[in-house]
Amino acid sequence: MVCRNCGNQLIENEKFCTVCGHYNGDEEENQNNDMDITIPKEPIGMVNNENELINIDTANDIQTPPDLLININDTNNNHPETEMNENRYDRLLEAYVGEDYQEIVRKKINLYAFIFNLFYFLYRKMYIIGIIGLSILWILAIKYPILIIPYIIIVAIISGVLFNPIYLKIAKIKINNLKKNSPSDDDFELIEICRKKGGVNVVIALLIYLVFIISIIGTLFSFRLFFNGKGKYWDENNNNRANCRYLSRNSLFYARNNGISGEIEESVCKKFGTDDQYFDVYLKMKSIDGSFSYLYFSSGNEGIDLTNNTEKKNALENKRMNGTITEEEKKQLEEYEQIESNYKKIKTDSEKYEQLPSKIQKNTERSSYVFSKEELLK
């Protein structure tokens, strides 16, 4: 229905045009509402208290009693300006909401919001709420996966019940801002602006959801690699430690069974290469006289072997000081000194690893270990 005077589009049952104010009711109502007052050509006579006839020569002297005055606008509407403003606002709100306007305005529960929840927020251009909801879901998927299903259920219920009032509240706020910022008060321009700013956008909603899915898959994949790597190093470090402790204990039993005197003070062990069969083990032994010697064991395919022993190191050092040492004894002394140097280096490497932050330790393969006397004798 359009205004018969200016052509403005009217909403259903609207009788007054909000642009020109023309009344667009039925013809019969128009005729009933036209209050034409006919002035008689003959003078109207009235009798005064003395029964004299009073002649009125002009219509201008006629005064209509107040109770005969009729306000045409009060026929069907007590507040026409308020109704026109409300009708105008409804048109702007309908333009902003777009499709499903009647369902969103009249119904308390939104079935689409319940089913699609966060995606429906994005679809309705409520990007901030949708992105915040997806961000929370992303965090839960990474750190607390067990809470994903309860979160989705809660969001679905809240969306279904509260989407309509929240959306209409936000829509009204934006319409008021558009009216304030609009350079023109023309209804046609405001309606077009509301349609552009409001409505739906499935393309952007799909793009945001696609980015979310890609990011969560990528993050989960990265975390999976991280945890696999951490699990790998964790297992290897545990295996390396277990192997080193086992080999150190066997080396100590080997020494005692072969008549090597002294008490165990400490042991160091180092793994070589990627094969779990190759380890070097050094035992630090304390003699009765308080001196220390080092036993060097190496493990391979055929088990563990005592490769060298530095018990004679002190005697050879004395010969070197006296100048009585032979060339062969010099080489032997150098081997003893190398064994002691290797022992200290393995111990230093193990201590450096212990000083690393725990996060780095879990992601780094460990190859050097130190075992105390108590650990070996348990």
The token pair at 175 is 């319409």
Q: What are residue 156's phi and psi, to 5 degrees?
A: -65, -45
pLDDT at 342: 95
CB 148 within 8 Å of CB 95:
no
Q: At what angle do helices 148-181 and 80-97 cross, to 10 degrees?
A: 130
CB 294 within 8 Å of CB 311:
no
Instruction: Give the CA distances from residue 30 to residues 16, 84, 96, 345, in Å, rounded to whole numbers and listed in that order.
Output: 12, 19, 34, 110
Q: Please state the pTM of the whole predicted model.
A: 0.42
pLDDT at 38: 47
| Angle 269-270-271 from CA coordinates, rounded to 5° | 130
- Which residues, listed in sequence order, are joined to residue 300 by a DSSP beta bridge? 303
pLDDT at 262: 85
Q: Which residue type, as a one-letter code, is found at position 199?
A: G
pLDDT at 360: 80
pLDDT at 192: 87
Residue position matching structure tokens 């006289």: 289
C-alpha closest to that of 240 among 372, 378, 369? 369
pLDDT at 184: 64
Nearest-angstrom CA–CA distance, 16 and 73: 10
Q: Encode the chain in three state secondary structure.
A: CECCCCCCECCCCCCECCCCCCECCCHHHHHHHCCCCCCCCCCCEEECCCCCEEECCCHHHCCCCHHHCCCHHHCCCCCHHHHHHHHHHHHHHHHHHCCCHHHHHHCCCCHHHHHHHHHHHHHCCCHHHHHHHHHHHHHHHHHCHHHHHHHHHHHHHHHHHHHHHHHHHHHHHHHHHHHHHCCCCCHHHHHHHHHHHCCCCHHHHHHHHHHHHHHHHHHHHHHHHHHHHHHHHHHHHHHHHHHHHHHHHHHHHHHHHCCCCCEEEEEEEEECCCCCCCEEEEEEEECCCCCEEEEEEEEECCEEEEEEECCCHHHHHHHHHHCCCCHHHHHHHHHHHHHHHHHHHHHHHHHHHHHCCHHHHHCCCCCEEEEEHHHHHC
pLDDT at 69: 44
C-alpha closest to that of 188 among 18, 366, 373? 18
| Angle 116-117-120 from CA coordinates, rounded to 5° | 70
Start-to-end Cα distance in the chain: 98
pLDDT at 221: 61
Per-residue pLDDT of the chain (378 residues; tens, 9 = 90+): 678 777 777 777 777 777 677 777 765 555 544 444 444 444 444 444 444 444 444 444 444 454 444 444 444 445 444 554 667 778 888 989 988 898 899 998 999 999 998 999 999 999 999 999 999 988 888 778 888 899 999 999 999 999 999 999 999 998 888 888 876 667 788 888 888 899 899 999 999 989 988 887 776 665 554 444 444 555 567 888 888 998 999 999 988 888 888 899 999 999 987 777 789 999 999 988 888 999 999 987 667 889 999 989 989 999 999 999 999 999 999 999 999 999 999 999 999 998 988 778 777 888 899 999 998 887
